[in-house]
Chains A and B, each alone.
Chain A
């Protein structure tokens, strides 16, 4: 079966050299593959982000080109600071902001993105959400009506929440609850939306039902809404966009 085989493959030196060469070849190959595919992967990540934003607008992009739909619906992008001042007015600049990195900065140094969409002639504001669930990060987008208070739609996703429990934040029954709820109270102050166990109530704040068995993920959603939306407090106070 085997032909000329005189090499002693059990020597220490041979083993070490073999392992070294193998590792170098594999490392080289993997970095080549990764480099060659980087660009396509980045495009996918961007397209996925567009799909997520469209989902918060309740746009069905199944079987359609999400990038085209995104350009149709999203008409403008704003970059604000925490004082509610517009730093930049550009769709591309808004899209490029990495909200996770911004959240790590001090509040007054953060750049806060807002996507502005037109749905059936009405203006919607879309705010990016980033937070933590039970096992890992959760994220999403929330679309507000032009009163900057009524929720038009939401999109939530997660990295590793428990299937059937916390992972249900991605499901329609949980997300539909948000529609029509208000993040501002009757005095137009920002109060966010509470995520509570069925039966519990809060004063002066809209609430939705938490997922039973997914308490920590539900609390994570509540905290994510509070943390991310409160940054835009000044924006909510001012009337229409300047």
Chain B
């Protein structure tokens, strides 16, 4: 092992946070980013859940990579992901019940999140467990960061609160301010993601096409 954080692993970790962000650059996993970001809390839980699942399924697949029969490798990947998703969903039901009710089907739908299968197939099948773990962590966090940003803006402008706590004071409402109902609707999430991509690309010249 020697050095745990070599130059390569650093790249593997930092890449997906910015230059190779799964949502911002690869535009994967958009569906859940629209659905669960009306409030910050579910967005956070979703981000953490996906991070945990990508990281660990990456490790498991990477450990098994030399034994997996090539013809059923996608099925094996799916089984590993599905098992982890079920575990996460059960744990949420036990320890964060109201969030799990709010996220309802979307936890189950992590299975179909393209980021997962993409990382397993593209990275974990060809790399060692530690790098795969870091790769999963990086991609999961890259996904989570976008979700949190979107959730932040949607909750503060849509409901005037953050994590359920009132942020915009009552006096604003008395003075005629009102919450933006459109923020609560999925289209607004798409618009915010588009704005994030726009800013991101204008800051990184090499991403522009």
B68 proximity list for chain A (CB < 8 A): 9, 18
Interface-located stretch among B40-48, B70-78, B151-159, B171-179 = B70-78
Given the known interface contacts A10-B69, A10-B70, A19-B72, the answer about A48 and B83 at a Cβ–Cβ threshold of 8 Å is no
Measured in the bound complex, the distance between the Cα atoms of B90 and A19 in whole Å is 24
B184 proximity list for chain A (CB < 8 A): 164
Contact of A26 among B71, B83, B91 (CB under 8 A): B83
Find out whether the CB atom of B71 lies under 8 angstroms from the CB atom of A15.
yes
Interface of B is mostly: helix
Interface size on A, residues (CB 8 A): 25
Given the known interface contacts A9-B69, A14-B69, the answer about A41 and B76 at a Cβ–Cβ threshold of 8 Å is no
- Say how far A67's CB is from chain B's closest CB, in angstroms: 13
Interface-located stretch among A27-35, A194-202, A217-225 = A27-35
A5 proximity list for chain B (CB < 8 A): 66
- Say how far A82's CB is from chain B's closest CB, in angstroms: 32
> B94: CB under 8 A from chain A?
yes
- Say how far B25's CB is from chain A's closest CB, in angstroms: 28
Find out whether the CB atom of B67 lies under 8 angstroms from the CB atom of A9.
yes
B70 proximity list for chain A (CB < 8 A): 9-10
Find out whether the CB atom of B97 lies under 8 angstroms from the CB atom of A30.
no
Measured in the bound complex, the distance between the Cα atoms of B87 and A164 in whole Å is 31
Find out whether the CB atom of B66 lies under 8 angstroms from the CB atom of A40.
no
Measured in the bound complex, the distance between the Cα atoms of B83 and A18 in whole Å is 16
Measured in the bound complex, the distance between the Cα atoms of B95 and A47 in whole Å is 12
Find out whether the CB atom of A48 lies under 8 angstroms from the CB atom of B101.
yes
Find out whether the CB atom of B75 lies under 8 angstroms from the CB atom of A19.
yes
B101 proximity list for chain A (CB < 8 A): 48
> B149: CB under 8 A from chain A?
no
Measured in the bound complex, the distance between the Cα atoms of B45 and A123 in whole Å is 40
Interface size on B, residues (CB 8 A): 24
Find out whether the CB atom of A33 lies under 8 angstroms from the CB atom of B90.
yes
Measured in the bound complex, the distance between the Cα atoms of B70 and A164 in whole Å is 46
Find out whether the CB atom of B75 lies under 8 angstroms from the CB atom of A40.
no
> A241: CB under 8 A from chain B?
no
Q: Give chain B interface residues in 14-71, CB to chain A under 8 Å.
A: 66-71
Find out whether the CB atom of A40 lies under 8 angstroms from the CB atom of B87.
no
Q: Give chain A interface residues in 20-49, CB to chain B under 8 Å.
A: 22-23, 26, 29-30, 33-34, 37, 40-41, 44-45, 47-48
What residue of chain B has the Cβ atom nearest to residue A47's Cβ?
A: B97
Find out whether the CB atom of A48 lies under 8 angstroms from the CB atom of B97.
yes
Contact indicator per residue, chain B 91-103, by CB within 8 Å of chain A (1) or not (0): 1011101100100
- Say how far A194's CB is from chain B's closest CB, in angstroms: 28
Find out whether the CB atom of B69 lies under 8 angstroms from the CB atom of A30.
no
A30 proximity list for chain B (CB < 8 A): 83, 86-87
- Say how far A83's CB is from chain B's closest CB, in angstroms: 37
Measured in the bound complex, the distance between the Cα atoms of B67 and A27 in whole Å is 20
User: Which B residues form the contact surface with A (CB < 8 A)?
Assistant: 66-72, 75-76, 79-80, 83, 86-87, 90-91, 93-95, 97-98, 101, 184-185
Closest 7 CB pairs of A and B: A44-B97, A40-B94, A15-B69, A37-B94, A26-B83, A9-B69, A41-B93
Beyond A19-B75, A23-B79, A30-B86, 6 extra complex contacts between A and B, CB < 8 Å:
A9-B69, A10-B70, A18-B67, A19-B76, A33-B91, A48-B101
Can you sample 7 A-B contacts with CB below 8 Å?
A9-B67, A9-B68, A9-B69, A18-B76, A30-B86, A34-B90, A48-B97
